[in-house]
C-alpha cells in the first residue's frame, strides 16, 4: 500500500490552500452544496471543477438533440421560491443550452463563481488520520488541505469508449457524446455511424439524420422509447409555475421518483385489456416518462410489465415501415424501464428516412475500426464520422478515476473491489468526513436528479452544522451500518424488475470487468428521505461521531 503522507509531502508544486471544506464539481450538485456550506454555514469552502464553466453533465453532453427527459418545471432547484419565479422555462423539456443558461443564472444569482476554480481536475484525495484532514491534489499539482470533502462528481461523467482495436487508425473523426466539442460537429454531407441506442443515441439519431448524407445506427440491444412530445410552454403554464413554486416543490418531494406526477394506484393485471390499452394509448399521446407511471405493478410484475412492453413494441412495428428494420428495433430483450427508459423526438420515424439504416451488431458484433470505418463480423461500413453514444462508467467511474484513500491509506478502489459499498449512499466506512452526493446506494439516477441532489446537499450541510455546534471533528459510517445498508439496497432492487436488464449500467454490466452490483437505491425518494431523517433523529445512527 502506498505511503500516502509521503506522496503529498514530496509534492513540491504550486502551493497548498487550507479550507474548511472542498466540493468537487460545479454541476447541479456542486453549485448547491457550495451555496449551502458557504452561505448558510459560513464555511471557508471552494469548488474545484474540471470544466471551464458550471454545468457538470450539461457542460460536457452537448451532443445533437441533448435535452432533459424530466419536464422543465421539475428539473431545477426548488430551495428558493423567489428564484423559481425569476426564471422562465421555454419548453416542456429543457434543452442542453437552456439548462446551461439556467445553471449560469443560478450561479450568478448567488455569486458562486468567485468560489469555483475552473479547469481544475482533482486527481487524488488522501485522508491524514493524524490531523483529520483530507489532502486533495489537482492535475496541475495544487494541494488543498480540508476537513470536509464532498464529491459532487455526477453519476454519468466518465465516458465509456469501447476498446475497439484500430480506433487510432480511423481516417475520419470520432466523438463520444459525453465529451462533445463546444464548437459542434457539422454532419452536412457526411457518412455518419452512430454506435449505441440508449437515451443518448435515441435523442441524437433524429437530429444527426437531418443533415448527414447517411446515418448508420449500430444497435446491439434494441430499446424501448416513448415519444417525448416536446412543445413550447404556454404563457398560462409559465404563469402557473410562477404562481405555484411551493406546490411544485411539494409535488416533486412527495413522489417515488421526484417527478411531478404520481404512479397510478391501479394494477395492469387487474385492468381489462381494452381499458388497459386505452390507458397506454393516452399515456403514449401525452408522452414522456409518465408512461412508466401508468400502473402500480409495472415494475414489480413481469406479466404486468409485458403489457406495457407489448404495447410499445406494437407501436414500433406500426411506425417503422420496413418490416425487417421494425423487427430488429422491436426485438427487445428486457422488461420496459428495467433500463433507464428513453423518451424521444421522432426516433423510430427516423428509420423511415432514405438516408438512415440500422445494423444489428448483436448478430454480427463490431470487431474493429478500420481506417475507412466500422468493421463488424460480416461487413465493413465506410464512414466519415463515428459517434460513440456508448454511455458511461456510471456511478462509480467518476469516483474511482480519482485516487481516493481513506484511513490507513486504503484505496477506495480496493474498498469497492466487489462493487460500491457505503452507508445511505453518503459515506464509506474508513473514509471519515468524505461525503458523496447522489452516488451509488442512494436514489440518485432512479430519481429526478435535482430533487435527489437538494436532499443530499441539505443533509450534508445540516450534518456539518450539527458537528460544529456539538464541537465534533469527525464523522464516519460504521462498518456494520454500511453492511446493513448494502444488503437493504440489494434486497429492494431484487423485489423489482430492475436487475433483469442484463446489460444495464445500473448494474455496471456495460463495462467489461466491472462488478455486477445493482447500484442505486430503488426504494424511492420519499422512503429514502424518511430514512435519512430518522437516522438524524436517532443521533446519527450508524455513524461514529468523534
Ligand atoms: O448510455 P447507455 P446513454 N458495441 O449506457 C451501446 C442519461 N441520459 O449515454 O445496451 C455496441 O444507456 C449499448 O448497447 P447495450 C440516462 O440516465 C439522460 O445512452 O450495452 N454497442 C447501448 O445501446 C441514460 O440512461 C438524458 O447492448 C455498445 C449504448 O451503447 C444515461 O444517461 C439523455 C457497445 C449505451 O447506452 C446513459 O445513456 C441521455 C459496444 N461495444 C442520457 N458499448 C436526459 O435526461 C455500448 N454500446 C437528457
pLDDT of residue 503: 86
Whole-angstrom distance, CA of residue 458 vs CA of residue 32: 9
123-177 confidence digits (pLDDT tens):
999 999 999 999 999 999 999 999 999 999 999 999 999 999 999 999 999 999 9
Whether 322 contacts 350, CB under 8 Å: no
Residue ranges of domains in the chain = 2-54+112-158+394-545, 255-336
CA-proximal residue: ligand 1, atom 22 (nearest)? 196
pLDDT of residue 9: 47
302-328 confidence digits (pLDDT tens):
999 999 999 999 999 999 999 999 999
Length of the chain as a residue count: 546
pLDDT of residue 477: 98
Q: What are the C-alpha distances in Å from 189 to residues 48, 192, 214, 322, 375?
A: 40, 9, 8, 24, 22
423-449 confidence digits (pLDDT tens):
999 999 999 999 999 999 999 999 999
Does the CB atom of residue 69 touch ligand 1 within 6 A? yes
Best residue for ligand 1 mutational test, from 60, 157, 200, 393 (most atoms within 8 Å of Cβ): 200
Best residue for ligand 1 mutational test, from 75, 345, 510 (most atoms within 8 Å of Cβ): 510
pLDDT of residue 214: 98
Where would I find the H helices in 471-524? 479-494
Whole-angstrom distance, CA of residue 350 vs CA of residue 477: 50
- Three cell numbers written together for 16: 497548498
CA-proximal residue: ligand 1, atom 9 (nearest)? 391
Report whether pLDDT(12) > 50. Answer: no
CA-proximal residue: ligand 1, atom 46 (nearest)? 390
372-426 confidence digits (pLDDT tens):
999 999 999 999 999 999 999 999 999 999 999 999 999 999 999 999 999 999 9
Confidence label for 3 from pLDDT (cuts 50, 70 and 90): very low
Does the CB atom of residue 345 touch ligand 1 within 6 A? no
- Three cell numbers written together for 506: 445500473
- Give the pLDDT mean for 497-514: 93
Best residue for ligand 1 mutational test, from 65, 67, 220, 359 (most atoms within 8 Å of Cβ): 220
pLDDT of residue 15: 79
Whole-angstrom distance, CA of residue 252 vs CA of residue 447: 10
The interaxial angle of helices 245-253 and 525-537, nearest 10 deg, is 90
Going by the DSSP 8-state scheme, the letter that residue 340 receives in this structure is: P
Question: 509-530 b/e with 16+ CB inside 10 Å = b?
Answer: bbbeebeebbbbbbbbbbebbe
pLDDT of residue 7: 53
Q: What are the C-alpha distances in Å from 348 to residues 222, 241, 358?
A: 11, 32, 11
Would strands 214-219 and 403-405 be described as parallel, antiparallel, or unpaired?
Answer: unpaired
Whole-angstrom distance, CA of residue 187 vs CA of residue 179: 17
Closest CA to 48 of 108, 137, 156, 133: 137
Report whether pLDDT(10) > 70. Answer: no
Q: What are the C-alpha distances in Å from 20 to residues 136, 152, 196?
A: 13, 16, 43
Q: Which residue do the cell numbers 411531478 mark? A: 260
Whole-angstrom distance, CA of residue 47 vs CA of residue 113: 9
Closest CA to 404 of 381, 427, 377: 427
Whole-angstrom distance, CA of residue 464 vs CA of residue 473: 9
Q: Tell me if residue 70 falls in helix, strand or coil.
A: coil
Closest ligand 1 atom, CA of 196?
A: 30
Instruction: Give 122 or 1, the one with higher predicted confidence.
Output: 122
Name the fold adopted by 2-54+112-158+394-545: FAD/NAD(P)-binding domain (3.50.50)
Confidence label for 4 from pLDDT (cuts 50, 70 and 90): very low
Best residue for ligand 1 mutational test, from 199, 360, 381, 389 (most atoms within 8 Å of Cβ): 199
116 backbone φψ class: left, alpha, beta (φ>0; ψ -120 to 50) = beta
262-305 confidence digits (pLDDT tens):
999 999 999 999 999 999 999 999 999 999 999 999 999 999 99
CA-proximal residue: ligand 1, atom 48 (nearest)? 68
181-216 confidence digits (pLDDT tens):
999 999 999 999 999 999 999 999 999 999 999 999
87 burial level (CB within 10 Å; 0-12, 13-18, 19+):
middle
pLDDT of residue 540: 98
Does the CB atom of residue 23 touch ligand 1 within 6 A? no
Whole-angstrom distance, CA of residue 105 vs CA of residue 301: 43
Does the CB atom of residue 444 touch ligand 1 within 6 A? no
- Three cell numbers written together for 529: 428521505
Taking the CA atoms of 160, 164, 166 and 172 in sequence, report the sign of the dihedral they define: negative
Q: What is the mean pLDDT of the chain?
A: 96
- Three cell numbers written together for 8: 503529498
pLDDT of residue 433: 98
CA of 342 to the centre of ligand 1 (A): 10
Question: 206-245 b/e with 16+ CB inside 10 Å = b?
Answer: bbbbebbebbbbbbbbbbbbbbbebeebeeeebeebeebb
31-63 confidence digits (pLDDT tens):
999 999 999 999 999 999 999 999 999 999 999
Report whether pLDDT(8) > 70. Answer: no
pLDDT of residue 14: 58
CA of 471 to the centre of ligand 1 (A): 46
pLDDT of residue 1: 36
Would strands 385-388 and 403-405 be described as parallel, antiparallel, or unpaired?
Answer: unpaired
Instruction: Give 8 or 85, the one with higher predicted confidence.
Output: 85
CA of 200 to the centre of ligand 1 (A): 6
C-alpha R_g of the chain:
23
Q: How far apart are the first and last CA of the chain?
A: 27
Confidence label for 5 from pLDDT (cuts 50, 70 and 90): very low
pLDDT of residue 6: 36
Does the CB atom of residue 156 touch ligand 1 within 6 A? yes
Closest ligand 1 atom, CA of 164?
A: 41
Q: Tell me if residue 308 falls in helix, strand or coil.
A: helix
Would strands 373-376 and 380-382 be described as parallel, antiparallel, or unpaired?
Answer: antiparallel
Whole-angstrom distance, CA of residue 526 vs CA of residue 492: 14
Q: What is the pTM of this model?
A: 0.96
The interaxial angle of helices 235-243 and 245-253, nearest 10 deg, is 80
336-369 confidence digits (pLDDT tens):
999 999 999 999 999 999 999 999 999 999 999 9
Does the CB atom of residue 382 touch ligand 1 within 6 A? no
Q: Which residue do the cell numbers 445498508 mark? A: 485
Does the CB atom of residue 505 touch ligand 1 within 6 A? yes
CA of 542 to the centre of ligand 1 (A): 35
Amino acid at each position: 500500500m502506498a505511503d500516502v503522507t509521503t506522496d503529498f509531502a514530496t509534492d513540491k508544486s504550486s502551493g497548498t490552500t487550507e479550507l474548511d471544506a472542498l466540493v468537487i464539481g460545479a454541476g447541479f450538485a456542486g453549485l448547491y452544496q457550495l451555496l449551502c456550506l458557504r452561505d448558510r454555514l459560513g464555511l471557508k469552502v471552494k469548488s474545484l471543477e474540471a470544466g471551464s464553466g458550471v454545468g457538470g453533465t450539461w457542460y460536457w453532453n452537448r451532443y445533437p438533440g441533448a435535452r432533459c427527459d424530466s419536464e422543465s418545471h421539475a428539473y431545477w432547484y426548488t430551495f428558493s421560491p423567489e428564484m423559481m419565479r425569476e426564471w422562465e422555462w421555454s419548453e416542456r423539456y429543457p434543452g442542453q443550452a437552456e439548462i446551461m443558461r439556467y445553471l449560469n443564472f443560478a450561479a450568478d444569482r448567488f455569486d458562486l463563481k468567485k468560489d469555483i476554480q475552473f479547469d481544475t481536475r482533482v486527481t487524488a484525495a488522501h485522508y491524514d488520520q493524524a490531523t483529520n484532514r483530507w489532502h486533495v491534489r489537482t492535475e496541475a499539482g495544487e494541494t488543498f488541505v480540508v476537513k470536509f470533502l464532498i464529491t459532487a462528481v455526477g453519476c454519468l461523467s466518465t465516458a465509456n469508449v469501447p476498446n475497439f482495436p484500430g480506433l487510432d487508425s480511423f481516417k475520419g473523426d470520432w466523438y463520444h457524446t459525453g465529451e462533445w466539442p463546444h464548437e459542434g460537429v457539422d454532419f452536412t454531407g457526411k457518412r455518419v455511424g452512430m454506435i449505441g441506442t440508449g437515451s443518448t443515441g435515441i435523442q441524437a439519431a433524429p437530429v444527426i439524420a437531418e443533415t448527414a448524407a447517411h446515418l448508420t445506427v449500430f444497435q446491439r440491444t434494441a430499446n424501448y422509447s416513448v415519444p417525448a412530445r416536446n412543445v413550447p410552454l404556454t404563457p398560462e403554464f409559465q404563469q402557473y409555475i410562477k404562481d405555484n413554486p411551493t406546490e411544485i416543490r411539494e409535488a416533486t418531494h412527495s413522489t417515488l421518483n421526484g417527478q411531478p406526477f404520481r404512479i397510478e394506484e391501479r394494477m395492469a393485471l387487474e385492468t381489462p385489456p381494452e381499458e388497459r390499452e386505452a390507458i397506454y394509448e393516452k399515456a403514449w399521446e401525452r408522452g414522456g416518462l409518465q408512461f412508466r407511471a401508468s400502473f402500480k405493478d409495472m415494475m414489480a410484475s413481469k406479466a404486468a410489465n409485458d403489457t406495457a412492453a407489448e404495447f410499445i413494441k406494437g407501436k414500433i412495428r406500426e411506425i417503422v415501415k420496413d418490416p425487417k428494420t421494425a423487427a430488429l428495433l422491436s426485438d427487445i430483450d428486457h422488461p420496459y424501464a428495467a433500463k433507464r427508459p428513453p423518451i424521444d423526438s421522432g426516433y423510430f420515424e427516423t428509420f423511415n428516412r432514405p438516408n438512415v439504416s440500422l445494423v444489428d451488431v448483436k448478430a454480427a458484433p463490431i470487431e474493429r475500426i478500420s481506417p475507412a470505418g466500422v468493421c463488424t463480423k460480416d461487413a465493413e461500413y465506410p464512414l466519415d464520422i463515428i459517434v460513440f453514444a456508448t454511455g458511461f462508467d456510471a456511478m462509480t467511474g467518476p469516483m474511482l478515476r480519482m485516487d481516493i484513500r481513506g484511513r490507513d491509506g486504503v484505496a477506495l478502489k480496493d474498498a469497492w473491489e466487489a462493487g460500491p459499498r457505503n452507508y445511505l449512499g453518503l459515506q464509506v466506512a474508513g473514509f471519515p468526513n468524505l461525503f458523496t452526493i447522489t452516488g451509488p446506494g442512494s436514489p440518485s439516477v432512479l430519481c429526478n436528479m435535482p430533487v435527489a441532489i437538494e436532499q443530499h446537499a441539505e443533509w450534508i450541510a445540516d450534518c456539518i452544522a450539527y458537528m460544529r455546534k456539538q464541537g465534533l471533528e469527525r464523522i464516519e459510517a460504521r462498518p456494520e451500518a454500511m453492511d446493513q445498508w448494502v444488503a437493504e439496497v440489494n434486497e429492494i432492487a431484487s423485489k423489482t424488475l430492475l436487475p433483469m436488464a442484463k446489460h444495464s449500467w445500473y448494474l455496471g454490466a456495460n463495462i467489461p470487468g466491472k462488478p455486477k452490483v445493482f447500484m442505486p437505491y430503488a426504494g424511492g425518494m420519499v422512503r429514502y428521505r424518511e430514512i435519512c431523517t430518522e437516522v438524524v433523529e436517532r443521533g446519527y445512527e450508524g455513524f461514529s461521531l468523534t
